[in-house]
């Protein structure tokens, strides 16, 4: 079985260490990608997860990578090796999946773009652990046990760290970040659909800055 390299582990640790909050970004209008991401960066967010939940995700990764080189720009909601290859070509600096398969874990070991695999159970964590992964997305966090679950994971896996996402709100993010095994928290509250639809980039910047100040 292939094992994850120290380079991959270090890169993911760098991503998780760059920002305690990671916005889950779904681009519905391609013209929004750059101003939305610029507003988040202006508000202090330096890691951007652009998801493949819409048809504009791949192109948005390309354009934001070019326009905002100072930020970490990655791909979220990657569910297949084919998509993993596509986001590699688009210039993604990291990949986040909602769950795990053996093929994705194996591909992540060999890819130049590091993977943060999504898990919801200890069994899934152990699948990734066998391949050398020591950092995971915990998704969907709230319905999978939330803070209590992550505390329990820390017993048998003290060296594993997490980025919980799913159902987390601005008011609860700090509860997760108070845990020693949580390095960052992901959330869609940083990019409310109605605010993005109104193209109110000043409010997006305020939400980012205020959310960081709440921690």
3-state DSSP assignment of residue 117: coil
- Do residues 3 and 109 lie in contact, with contact meaning Cβ atoms separated by under 8 Å? yes
Helix (H) or strand (E) holding 186: strand 185-187
Task: Please identify which of the residues 102, 106, 124, 137 carries the catalytic annotation.
Answer: 137
3-state DSSP assignment of residue 187: strand
Active site residue 151: no
DSSP codes of every residue in 13-63:
HHHHHH-SEEEEE--SSGGGHHHHHHHHHHTT--EEEEESSSTTHHHHHHH
Active site residue 137: yes
Q: What is the DSSP letter of 139?
A: T
Separation CA 119–CA 116 (nearest Å):
10
Find, among 166, 191, 207, 163, the residue nearest to 33 by Cα.
191
Give the residue numbers annotated as catalytic, written as ranges: 49, 137
């Amino acid at each position: 079985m292939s094992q994850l390299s120290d380079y991959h582990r270090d890169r993911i640790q760098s991503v998780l260490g760059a920002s305690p909050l990671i916005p889950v970004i779904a681009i519905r209008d391609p013209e929004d990608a750059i101003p939305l991401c610029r507003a988040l960066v202006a508000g202090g967010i330096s890691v951007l997860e652009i998801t493949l939940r819409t048809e504009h995700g791949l192109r948005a990764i390309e354009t934001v990578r070019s326009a905002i080189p100072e930020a970490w720009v990655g791909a979220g909601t990657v569910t297949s090796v084919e998509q993993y290859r596509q986001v590699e070509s688009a210039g993604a600096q990291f990949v986040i999946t909602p769950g795990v398969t053996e093929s994705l874990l194996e591909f992540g070991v060999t890819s130049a773009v590091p993977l943060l695999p999504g898990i919801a159970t200890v069994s899934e964590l152990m699948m990734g652990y066998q391949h050398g992964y020591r950092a995971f997305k915990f998704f969907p966090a709230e319905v999978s046990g939330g803070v209590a679950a992550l505390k329990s994971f820390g017993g048998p896996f003290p060296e594993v760290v997490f980025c919980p996402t799913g159902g987390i709100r601005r008011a609860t993010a700090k509860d997760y970040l108070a845990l020693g095994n949580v390095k960052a928290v992901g959330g869609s509250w940083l990019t409310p659909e109605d605010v993005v639809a109104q193209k109110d980039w000043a409010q997006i910047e305020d939400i980012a800055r205020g959310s960081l100040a709440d921690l």
